[in-house]
């Protein structure tokens, strides 16, 4: 009896005082390619499963679930019961591997693929999805989340990319006038209504939070839509700046990066690369040191840049470590013209760059991705192109009916 009471006391203590859990190095990607954008195309020749992996810092083995929610085109989860995917939307009680004792900043590691072989999770709808890492007893307690695409393509897209030059004024340096134009053509199959064709979304490498939209209801000089009145459609996105190959830090060499506090490039600092084409990169991705490796620990990494002159705004670090999102948490500190920031990173390779931005009161007013990085036609980018359709079934939802990936090379 005393043992039962003791166990119950432990159980209720965990409910009242839940253990402290921190999710680290969260990553989602398609089959076996950790550098890829998280897109899966079940039943097609592309990635069939979404892989999710992360480290956990907690005192005891965590008891966590992953909850999956279907979303509209703005990443808002649907509350429509027909789109809730009830009974197939939770990965239960995740299995963890204990990390080597040399990894002092995290204790456990998880890696899993979905849809899973047990049949607990599937993704029946084509569109945007979110996942939430939650407490297994109370799914309202969310420790981390992520975004991914599920695509069941029904329309064949024909995409072309052309190098063009801005001609509305004289640009100096001339590289500022170099742009890409992307044109998407398709013929709509008979089972779809032409009036329900919505828009094209273009994702540049991994920049999910900064999509390029071409909407049929809003034509401009740089975003154009054409329809022949029957089933032929054309969407055109003009004036896309190619940018440059990303900078890269490789922290895997334990002979070079020996201590806890390191610099992103050993004894070097970064400078403007406007007139220099960067080396080949991971198109915005990252590669972690294997989690079973004794040296797969976390380092405090300092990034430093000396811009050529005073910049009109703050300088922000963006990269694979923060999903390429401009955030006040990643603003560099200016010390007499030398800008720097220190962030914790797991050993591995990371693409990154510096962005000049005007960020006030949690509102991003404008951003400049090329002044410190350059703008070159020879940059090799990956553009993921999605075609959206207002599907009237199940009460109506944003459905992706076409998808294609093109490369600027």
Task: Write down how long the chain is.
Answer: 409
Query: pLDDT tens across 40-96, in order?
Result: 998 777 779 999 999 999 999 999 999 999 999 999 999 999 999 999 999 998 999
Q: What pLDDT sits at residue 18?
A: 57
Which numeric CATH code is attached to 158-243+379-407? 2.60.40
pLDDT in tens, 164-209: 998 877 777 888 999 999 999 999 999 999 999 999 999 999 999 9
Res. 5: pLDDT tops 70: no
b/e per residue, 57-83, with b = 16+ CB within 10 A?
Answer: bbeeebbbbbbbbbbebeeebbeeeeb
User: What is the pLDDT at residue 229?
Assistant: 94
Whether domain 2-150 has CATH 2.60.40: yes
Q: What is the pLDDT of residue 7?
A: 38
Nearest-angstrom CA–CA distance, 186 and 233: 6
pLDDT reading at 311 higher than 50: yes
A 10 A CB-CB count for 95 gives 9
Tell me which DSSP letter residue 246 carries. P
Whose structure tokens read 């220190």? 342
Q: What is the mean pLDDT of residues 245-268?
A: 93
**349 CB-near residues (< 8 Å, 6+ apart):** 248, 249, 250, 251, 252, 282, 286, 287
> Residue 2: what pLDDT?
46
Q: What percent of the chain has pLDDT over 70?
A: 95
* Joined tokens for residue 193: 């209504």
Close Cβ partners of 219 (under 8 Å, ≥ 6 residues apart): 225
Rounded Cα gap, residues 181 and 221, in angstroms: 12
As annotated, the residues of the chain forming the CATH 2.60.40 domain(s) are: 2-150, 158-243+379-407, 247-368
Question: What Cα–Cα distance (Å) separates residue 85 from each residue in 2, 45, 124, 126, 379?
Answer: 43, 25, 8, 13, 41
Cα–Cα distance for residue pair 36/17, rounded to 1 Å: 38
| pLDDT level of residue 147 (50, 70, 90 thresholds) | very high
- State the DSSP string of 12-70: HHHHHSPPP-EEEEEEEEETT-TTS-SEE-TTSSS--SEEEEEEEE-SS---EEEEEEE
Q: Are 29 and 152 in contact (CB under 8 A)?
A: no
Three-state DSSP class for residue 231: coil
Q: Please state, rounded to an integer, the average pLDDT across all residues of the chain.
A: 92
Q: Which two tokens stand for residue 56?
A: 């956990």
CATH 1.10.10 fits 247-368, yes or no: no
CA 212 distance to own-chain centroid: 15
pLDDT at 148 over 80: yes
pLDDT band at 9 (very low <50, low <70, confident <90, very high): very low
Cβ-contact 351, 317 below 8 angstroms: no
pLDDT at residue 170, rounded to an integer: 75
């Amino acid at each position: 009896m005393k043992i039962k009471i003791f166990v119950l006391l432990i159980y209720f203590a965990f409910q009242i005082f839940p253990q402290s859990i921190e999710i680290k190095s969260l990553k989602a990607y398609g089959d076996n390619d950790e550098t890829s954008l998280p897109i899966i195309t079940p039943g097609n020749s592309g990635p069939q499963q979404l892989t999710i992996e992360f480290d956990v810092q907690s005192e005891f083995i965590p008891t966590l679930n992953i909850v999956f929610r279907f979303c509209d085109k703005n990443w808002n989860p649907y509350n429509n019961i027909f789109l809730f995917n009830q009974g197939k939307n939770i990965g239960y009680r995740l299995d963890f591997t204990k990390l080597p004792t040399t990894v002092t900043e995290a204790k456990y590691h998880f890696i899993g693929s979905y849809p899973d072989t047990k049949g607990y999770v599937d993704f029946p709808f084509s569109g945007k999805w979110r996942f939430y890492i939650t407490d297994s007893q109370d799914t309202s307690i969310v420790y981390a989340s992520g975004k991914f695409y599920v695509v069941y393509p029904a329309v064949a897209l024909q995409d072309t990319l052309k190098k063009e030059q801005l001609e509305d004024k004289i640009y100096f340096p001339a590289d500022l006038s170099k742009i890409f134009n992307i044109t998407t053509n398709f013929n709509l199959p008979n089972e779809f209504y032409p009036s329900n064709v919505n828009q094209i979304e273009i994702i540049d490498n991994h920049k999910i939070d900064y999509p390029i939209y071409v909407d049929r209801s809003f034509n401009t000089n740089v975003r154009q839509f054409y329809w022949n009145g029957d089933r032929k459609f054309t969407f055109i996105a003009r004036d896309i700046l190619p940018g440059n190959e990303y900078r890269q830090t490789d922290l895997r060499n334990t002979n070079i990066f020996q201590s806890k506090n390191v610099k992103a490039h050993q004894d070097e600092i970064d400078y403007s690369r406007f007139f220099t084409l960067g080396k080949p990169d991971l198109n915005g991705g990252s590669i972690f040191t294997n989690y079973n490796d004794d040296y797969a620990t976390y380092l405090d990494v300092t990034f430093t840049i000396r811009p050529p002159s005073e910049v009109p705004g703050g300088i922000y670090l963006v990269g694979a470590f923060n999903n390429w999102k401009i955030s006040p948490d990643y603003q560099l500190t200016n010390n007499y013209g030398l800008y720097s920031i220190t962030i914790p990173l797991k050993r591995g390779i990371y693409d990154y760059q510096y962005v000049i931005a005007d960020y006030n009161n949690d509102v991003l007013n404008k951003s400049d991705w090329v002044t410190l990085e350059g703008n070159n036609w020879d940059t090799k980018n990956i553009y993921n192109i999605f075609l959206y359709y207002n599907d009237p079934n199940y009460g109506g939802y944003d459905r992706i009916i076409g998808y294609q990936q093109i490369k600027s090379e």
